[in-house]
Amino acid sequence: MMNTMTTKTTVAIAVPLEAEQVERIRAVDPSVTVLYEPDLLPPERFPADHSGDPDFKRTPAQEEQYWSMLNQAQVLYGLPNESPSGLARIARDNPRLQWVHAMAAGAGGAVKASGLDQETLLKFKVTTSAGVHALPLAEFAALGILNGFKRSAELAQDQAAKVWPELRTPTRLVSGSTLVVTGLGEIGLETARIARALGMTVSGTKRNVEPIEGIEQVAGNDGLAGLLASADAVVNTLPGTPYTEKLFNRGVFAAMKPGTVFVNVGRGTVVDEDALLEALGNGQVSYACLDVFAVEPLPLDSPLWNHPKVMVSPHTSALSAAENRLIAERFCSNLGIFLAGGDLPHLVDPVHFY
């Protein structure tokens, strides 16, 4: 459906958001009505806590008011209750719904988990906040690479044990080394930018293989093993889809040269964790910096918790104090496109869910 600047559009804020950012959305265009009831939204426990306090409960009257508000809108800022079930309910109950903007960069998983059939999903659009998290994720990836090259895990162990080794162990130079990035999207390209600033040569994979300025080689996933033979470090940024499920398996880890540093800021399902543990054990991987896992929270009995060559981050590397502002700015930009009847960026594919 085409929109014009004179068409009345109602936006409902479905997730916790600061009043300052709500006003930013209101200022996009006078034709936009923004529905925002902070008393109906759980308080944030930390910046960009899109789900809010889990102990927050609406009264029956507030629950009715919340859904009544959402059902008046053509556009939602956030998934209702930040949940797949909330998305399923609003898709069923709100016939005027045209667009939902998700807080996550990888919102395809939530859309898939909603269980909505393709016919229903084609009735409205879901956009993600892809790109907003690119810089913090890229900085975290650089941290992982530097940790691996500079032996930070071993230094921490020696410090904890108050050990001053008699023989000094050299570290590796990042400059002049080779990085492979799986997934040369916005996060992957930002990672490549920082890596090149550190003096690294960067190659990587992309679903649609095409030359990219500053990238030495670009291949599809079927060409990944060939890239890995010369890689000193590997950063995964790929989303979790049926096409990426356990992409990093025993064969792929075996294709790496001994001592490769591995960083995962994509999705945990892309990695066969048993295969990763074997690669850590046999030296193919010298260090792994992991922000995501196949099961989250990471089970208490996972050997990754206590592995001396692994950093475990609780899926927090994308968080920053500026996140809500950046997402709101992205939404405002998209809202302008929506009002003008343009093509929204970062749409969730209703078939492949990425």
Residues with catalytic annotation?
Answer: 267, 296, 315
Q: Which of 351, 259, 332, 272 is nearest to 304 (CA)?
A: 272
SS3 call for 35:
strand
What amino acid is encoded at 175 in this protein? S
Spatial CA neighbour of 194 closest among 123, 112, 265, 137: 137
Strand 99-101 versus strand 233-236 pairing type: unpaired
Counting every residue written for the chain, the total comes to 354
Give residue 235's Cα distance to chain centre: 14
**Gap between the Cα atoms of 183 and 220, Å rounded:** 9
Angle (nearest 5°) at CA 228 between 223 and 234: 115
Kindly tell me the number of DSSP H helices and DSSP E strands found in the chain.
12, 12
233: left (phi over 0), alpha (psi -120 to 50) or beta: beta
Helix (H) or strand (E) holding 263: strand 260-264
